[in-house]
Structure 1
Amino acid sequence: MRTLLLTKEEVSRLICMKEVIDAVEEAYRAFNSSQVQNPGYIGIHLPEPRGEIDFKVGYYEVKEVISMKASSGGFANNPKLHGLPSGMGTILLFDARSCALTCVMDGSLITGLRTGASGAVSVKALARKSARTIASIGTGNQARMQIRAIKEVMNIAEIHAWSRTPDALLQYKADIEGELGIPVVISDSKKTAVEQADILITATRGKGELVQADWIRPGTHIVAIGTDQRGKQELDPEIFRNAKIVVDSAAQCTEKGETWHALNGGVIAYDDVHAEIGEILLGRKPGRESEEEITIFDSTGMAVQDNTTASRIYENALEKNVGTFFDFFER
């Protein structure tokens, strides 16, 4: 069996956001249909000023695909010192019937795409149908990816954005308005931005309570993306007290996600977690049940999302004859 190599540029040509959203929905349904082995991921924090690297492995039994992703982030000095991005990723795909390596592909785009798509899936399942206004706490790559994905599932009237860095905020406004044509209102405070939100996106590397409970309006849907490791935090745990809590993986979110802070602080108990999102997509548990309900989607990211997204890219590459084959194994 030959192995296919796909570069970042090739990956970017082989899938669109709508396909990624479909792949992420497939992943969530498969996870809650006992079709997935999704072991806990490994995160290694390196000494400052370096960042972290995560390793996520997943087996999708129906498709007989095993994926392994290495993903790094927070290496702020990489561009200057090494001529490299601050975050990188690589995905390996294996045929589970033989464990032969079928594909090596750049994973940096996939991580951003499937994380953005997860927010869009949660909006479809949990946001009010009348939602039009988004608040974005954070203006980095993932904050932008969330907007690109969510615009595929709802009409966004305007975005209220906040960042610690004024220059980053101005650049975000210029980029989003130029690329997507969505008006961006620069907020002078987090509170001002959050108070306008039908949908609140938190996508930072925060290590504290960036958003306070009394800022949240009834009916708000919160997409909590930034907290995927102990030590990270974006939300006041009190927000969880009267909210419907939906997670991607209960095991991960109660151990490493935003939900852990609410559990650790005694604000909620484990049984207060309403559902994993796959259960809602499968119709086993309800999504939003009233216009006034505050809903939280806590996403730590799952290997099966990488698996289904990378598999679609691999299939598209074979169909379109994209990439370079090489002989990795000798008989």
Structure 2
Amino acid sequence: MNSRTDFIYLNEQDMIRAGVQDMEKCIDSMEDMFVLLHKGDYRMGGENANEHGIRVSFPKTTDVEGMPIHKPDFRFMAMPAYLGGRFKMFGIKSYGSNPDNTQKGLPRSILMMQLLDATTGVPLAYMSANILSAMRTGATSGVGARHLTIKNPKTVAIIGPGIMSKYTMDAFLSAQPTIEIVKIKGRSQKGIDSFISYCKEKFPTIKEYITCDKLDEVCKDADIVFYGTTNASKYEDNPTVKKEWLKPGALVIAASALLVDTEFLSDKKVKLISDNYKMYDGWGSGQPLPTQKNVSTLLGMGFYDAVTEGRIMRESITEMGEILAGKKTGRDNDDQILLYAVGGMPIEDVAWGYDVYMNAIEKGIGTKLNLWEKPAL
């Protein structure tokens, strides 16, 4: 019996050559993932199998010499998951995030992805995951653009024009090529200029860019409104959205901080869509309310708070997997406003990581590394 075990290492350029930036296929992969999520053919961390990941944070003050100090977006995480169906794969995404990295010429977050055989635990691949993670985040929003917008949307609003929003724009244009106007609100002119330059180079069909100073201004007349900001230093400074800012039929997608009052969430003319409500339920269980302030500023935590406080019924929240599996409808009419909460799940990384890995195997891309000729233990 041959017990030699090898796996492949894929650096960032290997990942690009293996198709990690193919947005249309990534959106397809996310759709497959959502259907398996609905069927229950997946596992994530924690007792409820729905944990976003395991986070290592740091104290606000310490007497320990050399111990890092807490700051917004400074964390280390491991995100394990199993995804069944055509994937049948276990994976772990890990990353460190530090906002000071940019001063050193590094990305704020540096991510790696490991794939393992779901039966034996044998490692199959270790891969650069910054682009992979940005792609799956954009593609998850792209699923919303593909299935929840009005027909032929024209205008997109971007709040927080960073890396996440750049990849999300790729997903939006892939899902809805009729988009031709982009409205932008950012915290710095440098970030806004970088976003516009990126879009002008990559999306020549966009006809107009409009920079806005206020949230109500950027949301006005937009068919799709995307929130992609990093957390503000103060909770109260995180962005919000109000119904009166939005046109009838608008789709609001939040993949980051977004505070929404419960009157908006409980409005019968507003439909709430979640990527995976059980994940927010697991985060919030046993935590002080509001969990948006005490746990996470994600829109999904706002959904959880509204349910826990009895302001809306759990049944009023539709899961994206239910829509893709044909169990429930997405948009019910052209005037309906939809709020789609995207929180990020490691099963997304497993899905897209697996597809890129299979492309790499088919094309002979990557460096083969040996684990052992024969295990010593």
Task: Settle same-fold status: TM greater than 0.5.
Answer: yes
Unmatched segments (≥5 aa) in structure 1: 228-232
Distance 1:270 1:203 in 2: 27
- Aligned-pair identity (%): 21
Q: Please tell me whether residue 158 in structure 1 is matched to residue 162 in structure 2.
A: no
Partner in structure 2 of residue 170 of structure 1: 193
SS in structure 2 of the partner of residue 328 of structure 1: strand
1:70 Cα shift?
A: 0.8
- Other-structure match for 2:272: 245
Aligned-partner Cα distance in 1 for 2:203–2:219: 22
Q: Is the 8 A contact 1:17 1:149 kept in 2?
A: yes
Q: Give the superposition deviation at 1:272.
A: 4.6
Q: Secondary structure at the match of 2:109?
A: coil
Unmatched tracts of structure 2, length 5 or more: 46-50, 59-68, 285-295
Superposed, 1:218-233 pairs within 5 Å as: 218-227=248-257, 233=258
| Aligned-residue offset at 1:210 | 3.0
Q: Secondary structure at the match of 1:28?
A: helix
Paired with 2:349 and 2:369, the residues of 1 have a C-alpha distance of 23
Asked if 1:300 is matched to 2:306, the reply is no
Residue 258 of structure 1: aligned partner: 299
Deviation at 1:263, TM superposition (A): 4.1
Give the Cα–Cα distance (whole angstroms) in 2 for the partners of residues 20 and 52 of structure 1. Answer: 27
- Using the alignment, how far apart are the partners of 2:216 and 2:183 within structure 1? 11
Query: Structure 1, residues 228-273: CA drift from partner, whole Å, max 9, x if none?
Result: xxxxx44444432222111111112343531322443547334254
Match of 2:30 in 1: 24
Q: Deviations over 1:164-192 (max 9, x none)?
A: 21232223222212321223211132211
149-158 or 165-174, larger mean C-alpha shift: 165-174
Instruction: Give the secondary-structure state (helix, strand or coil) at the position aligned to 1:104.
Output: strand
- 3-state SS in 2 of match to 1:25: helix
* Matching residue within 51, 54, 57 for 1:42: 54
Partner Cα distance (1:132, 1:245) in 2 = 22
Cα deviation, residue 161, structure 1: 0.5
Which amino acid in the other structure matches residue 105 of structure 1? Answer: M
Question: Which residue identity is paired with 2:225?
Answer: L
Pairwise CA distance, 1:57: 1.2
User: How far, CA to CA, are the matches of 2:157 and 2:56 in structure 1?
Assistant: 31
State the TM-score, normalizing by the size of structure 2.
Answer: 0.81
- 1:325 partner amino acid: K
1:147 counterpart residue number: 169
Q: Deviations over 1:166-223 (max 9, x none)?
A: 2322232222123212232111322111012111000001443432332122211011
Q: Secondary structure at the match of 1:144?
A: helix
CA distance in 1, matches of 2:249, 2:131: 32
In 2, the alpha carbon distance for the partners of 1:258 and 1:125 equals 19
Matching residue within 171, 178, 184 for 2:209: 184
Q: Determine the C-alpha separation between the residues in 2 that align with 1:188 and 1:79.
A: 25
Partner of 1:211: 241
**Distance of aligned partners of 1:116 and 1:286 in 2 relative to their CA distance in 1, 3 Å threshold:** same
Q: Is the 8 A contact 2:156 2:183 kept in 1?
A: yes
CA contact (8 A) 1:204 1:234 kept: no
What is the SS of the residue equivalent to 1:219? coil
Task: Note if contact 1:173-1:186 (Cα within 8 Å) is conserved in structure 2.
Answer: no
Q: Once superposed, which parts of structure 1, at least 4 consecutive aligned residues long, lie more than 6 Å away?
A: none
Q: Is the 8 Å Cα contact of residues 266 and 312 (structure 2) preserved in structure 1?
A: no
Which whole-Å deviations, capped at 9, do the CAs of 1:6-50 have from their partners, x for residues lacking one?
A: 001111221211111111111111111121112312223343446
- Answer whether contact 1:177 1:184 (CA < 8 A) is retained: no
Contact residue 241 and residue 267 of structure 1 kept, 8 A: no
- 1:65 aligned residue: 89
Determine if contact 1:160/1:196 at 8 Å carries over to the other structure. Answer: no
User: Quick one: which amino acid aligns to residue 283 of structure 1?
Assistant: G
Residues 298-328 of structure 1 show CA distances to partners (whole Å, capped at 9, x for unaligned) of: 0111111111100011100110000001111
Verify the 8 A CA contact 1:202 1:234 in the aligned structure 2.
no
Instruction: Indicate how the Cα distance of structure 1 residues 306 and 262 shifts in structure 2: closer, same or farther if over 3 A, else same.
Output: closer
- Count of residue pairs the alignment pairs up: 324
Q: What CA distance in whole angstroms lies between the structure 2 residues aligned with 1:282 and 1:103?
A: 30
Provide the C-alpha distance between the structure 2 equivalents of 1:293 and 1:180, rounded to a whole number of angstroms: 28
- Name the amino acid aligned to 1:29: V
Aligned 8 A contact 2:300 2:342 in 1: no
